[in-house]
Structure 1
């Protein structure tokens, strides 16, 4: 099938002002320095000789505490561009003390999940959307460009290698964490020995180019892209949904217009830990981030926020803040919008919401449910907001929570292939003789979901 016939698949709105394609099939032009198809085809594979014991399925999995046997790594330098990607045993990194990722936060990350389906096949959930967001973040940090299809092919191979680590219990998954950092090696050139520091004996020796390290604030001359995997458990016990309370304090601001709040950068997360501890000190589980003199609702902790209410005009509505540069374009956020538009049962709106509107709606009894969405929890209900010393009750749980549970059920059905919408939302990490760019599971047919 020719690229001209397939055209280009777009995801309007998922990245706001970032006008990148979510997917390009058989691109006829590439950004200089991008990973090439030949490089992904030559992916090196070095299997560990010391496999770790897999977690006991009878015990709960804690997020980010257990790692699989292998990782993906690929280096870039200003002179030669991208090196050869490789899958190798999980190991520590070797960084120069002047590494720009450490000093100036020239680093980003992504987060996606792979699920074991009812047919025992493993599926990545809409990973191409993460690839698009990752490229946007990289270009914002002046990190080198890369081909999204090539990186996803490498990630697919990594998940295939460690597919036995994907848990099978209800609500569990394999968390995929790509990381991209500025990495000024600056060791004079030569070869990094794979066995250095007691690493796995089958780790390959890695050549690197000489570079003069610098403490200057500038685009990195070297970079490192790597991917690690973690088996993780359910965010909620069983099928129960545990609501959270929020601290809404306009003193603290997560992001602002003209900043980088719409990119998934590590620098956006570290400063929020202090506020999270402040919320816990006041008896709240999460933070409701407000912005501007009108106190706009932006995000919940590290999640996007949704409000299900009856609008002032009397119309039942699901509303979430727009992608105006302050909001992170969440993959689950986009998925909930797509599902809601498909149902056609209530109005779906992306617009600014203020605390004044929320207070008025609560006073008039128009609020039905408030919840957050994200990769870790999928959909998280809210039952209380602490604002200006007052505890505002949110009737989410009294209303079912009907919409929260429905979204949870629909997403789970898609992720484990129990619904007709599975095609186009997941990617199976399994070898195929067909070119990757022809896989129908890579296409995201928004028209099938009724999106306009």
Structure 2
């Protein structure tokens, strides 16, 4: 963005509070992404003056011209992160700097305006403080935060938008698995491609998601919950549904376990949970017993390991569930069975990773990954 244009400035924030506060929904009745708080954050942009004054206003519809470029040419991107209540009643956002950095990468890729990450984090903090009564205090519950950036220029024709809108809405959510872990069945998918080298698979664009629904529906007809996306003639494993993929393989020669996930080559999303898992694994797992690898791994390698009893466990990772255990992968009409703990719905590392991350998210263990916003009684 040109240095002559106004940047986002949290000091210019104005707040209009709702005159019709919503009734809180009981925690046990929360459905992911279906209820929202009283307010939203809006920041307009135009190429003449730059970013306008941020405003927090009552949650409500947006007014957009039918010829708006977001509707016709997919000038849209978003992020997903969470905030938590700690045992002091304060608000903790988990690694928001990572989300903002990724959001700026996405914006730059589709010619939408970039912004100062710290200023937007401050503004989201103000929104959370205003609507903090909606943030559940119980473990397993949180506030899902959805920052979105859209091109709002009116008129047909493909060109760089001269107007844009950054807005943030918040939704209180409960545990992804209300009755504990539920391991899923995946269909290894090679007839459709989620992303390709030189494309935008590593950007969080809305246009990446809609094309994945049809293959997911096809997999569901065959009894699978998600797709395990394969790529290339080597059938490399990339992502699972909308999550990053991890598996644990045993090396019978050394006796070590190898935690494997695909490398950041531009075809997979740079997941914040993925990064957290890799960082914690390298810090906390015994290097005499574990190898942590970001490398290509084919579905044939996984099948071969499973046949030899060397596939230890597998899971997906993402903001919504943190980790999602996998119990089976369908491939070429055959089932690759993934071990679970006896009588449980996950493997041991899957459980350990969830505990590591949740204790950081809720502030049970202090970490510079949390951005804390104090709530004044």
> TM-score band (shorter)?
over 0.9
Bigger Cα displacement from structure 2, 399-408 vs 132-141: 399-408
Q: In the TM superposition, what whole-angstrom CA distance separates every residue of 1:159-206 from its partner, at most 9, and x where no partner exists?
A: 11111100122211000000000001xxxxxxxxxxxxxxxxxxxxxx
- Corresponding residue of 1:195: none
Alpha-carbon distance between aligned partners in 1 of 2:296 and 2:3, rounded to the nearest angstrom: 35
Distance 2:264 2:6 in 1: 27
**Aligned positions, number:** 370
Q: Matched residue of 2:246: which SS?
A: strand
Compared CA separation, residues 34 and 299, structure 1 to 2 (3 A): farther
* Counterpart among 4, 10, 17 of residue 47 in structure 1: 17
**Shift in CA distance, 173/361, structure 1 to aligned 2, threshold 3 Å:** same
Q: In the alignment, is residue 281 of structure 1 matched against residue 185 of structure 2?
A: no
Task: Summarize the Cα distance change of 1:250–1:313 in structure 2 as closer, same or farther, 3 Å threshold.
Answer: farther
RMSD (CA atoms): 1.7
Deviation of 1:308 (Å): 1.0
Q: Does the CA contact (< 8 Å) of 1:183 and 1:224 recur in 2?
A: yes
Deviations 1:125-182 (A, max 9, x none): 1111000000000000100121111111111111111111001222110000000000
Partner deviation per Cα, 1:18-61 (whole Å, 9 max, x = no partner): xxxxxxxxxxx98554624xx3112001111111101123x331
The reply on whether 1:263 has 2:235 as its aligned counterpart is no
Counterpart residue number, 1:81 = 50
Q: Distance in 2 between the 1:115 and 1:270 partners?
A: 29
Equivalences for residues 306-385 of structure 1 within 5 A: 306-311=246-251, 314=254, 315-345=256-286, 346-385=290-329
Indicate conservation of the 8 Å contact 1:111/1:130, yes or no.
Answer: yes
Q: Secondary structure at the match of 1:414?
A: helix
Shift of 1:348: 0.8
Listed one character per residue, the Cα deviations across residues 69-117 of structure 1 (whole Å, up to 9, x for unaligned) are: 0000010011111110000100101111111111111100000000111
User: Does residue 129 of structure 2 align to residue 160 of structure 1?
Assistant: yes
Following superposition, the deviation at residue 355 of structure 1 comes to 1.1
| Secondary structure of 2:29's aligned partner | coil
Match of 2:362 in 1: 416
Q: 1:390 aligns with which of 314, 327, 334?
A: 334
1:294-318 residue CA offsets vs partner (Å, 9 max, x unmatched): 1110000000000111147533211
Following the alignment from structure 1 to structure 2, what is the Cα–Cα distance between the partners of residues 281 and 274? 11
In 1, distance between residues paired with 2:251 and 2:151? 47
Task: Provide structure 2 residue ranges, at least 5 long, that are not aligned to the other structure.
Answer: none
The runs of 5 or more residues in structure 1 that have no matched partner are 1-28, 185-212, 433-452
Matches within 5 A, 1:51-450: 51-57=21-27, 59-184=28-153, 213-238=154-179, 240-311=180-251, 314=254, 315-345=256-286, 346-398=290-342, 401-419=347-365, 422-430=366-374
| Counterpart-to-counterpart distance in 2, 1:179 and 1:225 | 6
Contact residue 71 and residue 228 of structure 1 kept, 8 A: yes
Cα distance in 1 for residues equivalent to 2:52 and 2:217: 42
Spell out structure 1 runs of 4+ moving beyond 4 A.
29-32
Q: Is the contact made by 1:370 and 1:396 (CA closer than 8 Å) also made in structure 2?
A: no
